[in-house]
Chains A and B, each alone.
Chain A
């Protein structure tokens, strides 16, 4: 249902009224913004003293500051990439074995999934960094973060994969069986490749979640973007400004990824025949799945 279904195409009077209301709302918003800016200015948050290192290339700490933030971003991306790759492998394995295996095994997998889904990611990370060494498993910090993130995200991906496979038309597997393929062949060569196609947008959205969650590396002092920003803040004493930049970086990357997810979804759904497209968007692992699945 498109938005326009909710209201009539406006006539001249409605248009005029809408224009007035828009202006009032716009002015009110501008007013709030102006007030906030005035308050921040009064608190001395717009001085070059605070912003200089970030925006003035000739500032003595400009290069050092952007270096440290850049290094943090590299670390963040690295942790996110490793986590999503590992989650994809483990999640797919979990989903496939859950679909195929004996009942007791299926229940065990469901149990693990429910358990991991019920625990905050930050605790999974903290747990990995605190408990694994007590058990004699000592790794670089990066891997504790990756393990913590993977533990949570692999179960989410397992669910996405399972939904993807179950959403395929029955005819696909029936035809494959009729050709004399084994169950594993059917899964790996027929169902999974098709499922991945429909899952792609949801997977990209999950990447947004992972990227945001790398910031939880703070509990184990992993030098990701937010941690490195903290070091810069200790030196430059401008937390608001630096956090503003960090927020912009995260929003820019994640927004691009979300747009990519929407774009892929459109491309993929255009490739398919009209009738097979499900009527109710929220039932499919769509790009908005991010909102429902892992609201982290």
Chain B
């Protein structure tokens, strides 16, 4: 176990990098996912098509493949950036498809009467969605959205394979590979690092879930 205590600073930096990736990806994924969910329920056919293809593509491709296209496809388009940016965007795009589906199912869970009432007082699509339906959907969206975010934290382990480096899993891989440490203690350290994030997040989600639960 001395491997963990000896390299505590490496693990700490890894944890920080992982959290940074997750913070940026999470925010971007929420934004994109909400926009796409709005597209999917919108009256405009091209927008619906965009939303549907978005979800189909990003939900059915392995994250590894999405990340590849970010790291090696974007530069071909003449877009330059650091691999941290590419990786973060890739993770966000992939996650946004799941966010979109979570929000859409939340929108569908709002009783139709709400939207009908909104329309009958003269609100349009945008107003109905943003003032009446989405605020109510938020409550039923929080539990699945929380799961998506926790899944994203775990998925961030793959981002390291695309030149980002320094995240928790990369730290572990480097210790076992380049420095030849025994795998078991190193990996236990890495797992602890992820569990420190995911288990409290899960517990928190459980509490929030009970708080916002609506008896319908």
A–B contact, 8 Å CB criterion (strictly below) = yes
Q: Interface residues, chain A, CB within 8 Å of chain B?
A: 1-3, 5-8, 10, 18, 21-22, 25-26, 29, 36, 39-40, 43, 45, 114-115, 117-123, 126-127, 130-131, 134, 208, 212-213, 215-216, 218-219, 226, 239-240, 243, 246-247, 250-251, 254-255, 258, 279-282, 288, 290-296
Decide: B108 and A1 in contact? CB cutoff 8 A. Answer: yes
For the A-B complex with A6-B43, A126-B187, A292-B98 known, give 18 more contacts whose Cβ atoms are closer than 8 Å: A1-B107, A7-B124, A7-B128, A18-B44, A39-B78, A118-B150, A118-B194, A120-B156, A121-B154, A122-B169, A127-B187, A216-B158, A218-B161, A251-B56, A255-B56, A281-B105, A295-B98, A295-B148
Once the chains are docked, how many angstroms separate the CA of A282 from the CA of B111? 13
Show 19 residue pairs from A and B whose CB-CB distance is below 8 angstroms, ordered by the A residue.
A1-B110, A2-B112, A6-B128, A7-B125, A25-B47, A118-B199, A120-B158, A123-B157, A123-B194, A126-B187, A134-B183, A212-B60, A212-B62, A215-B65, A219-B173, A247-B61, A254-B60, A281-B109, A294-B151
Q: Interface residues, chain B, CB within 8 Å of chain A?
A: 41, 43-47, 50, 56-57, 59-65, 68-69, 72-73, 76-78, 95, 98, 101-102, 105-112, 115-116, 119, 124-125, 128-129, 133, 140, 143-144, 147-148, 150-152, 154-158, 161, 169, 172-173, 176, 182-184, 187, 190-191, 194-195, 198-199, 202, 216
Decide: B199 and A25 in contact? CB cutoff 8 A. Answer: no
Q: A22-B45, A213-B62, A239-B72 are in contact. Are A291 and B102 (CB under 8 A)?
A: yes
Given the complex, which residues of B lie within 8 Å of A255, measured CB to CB? 56, 60
Nearest B residue to A126, CB-CB: B187
Given the complex, which residues of B lie within 8 Å of A25, measured CB to CB? 44, 46-47, 50
Which of A45, A218, A251 neighbours the largest number of chain B CB atoms within 10 Å of its CB? A251
Given the complex, which residues of A lie within 8 Å of B56, measured CB to CB? 251, 255
Decide: B187 and A123 in contact? CB cutoff 8 A. Answer: yes
Decide: B43 and A10 in contact? CB cutoff 8 A. Answer: yes
Decide: B98 and A115 in contact? CB cutoff 8 A. Answer: no
> Does more than half of chain A's interface fall in helix, strand or loop, or is it mixed?
helix
Decide: A21 and B44 in contact? CB cutoff 8 A. Answer: yes
Partner of A295 from B69, B77, B147 at Cβ < 8 Å: B147
Given the complex, which residues of B lie within 8 Å of A293, measured CB to CB? 147
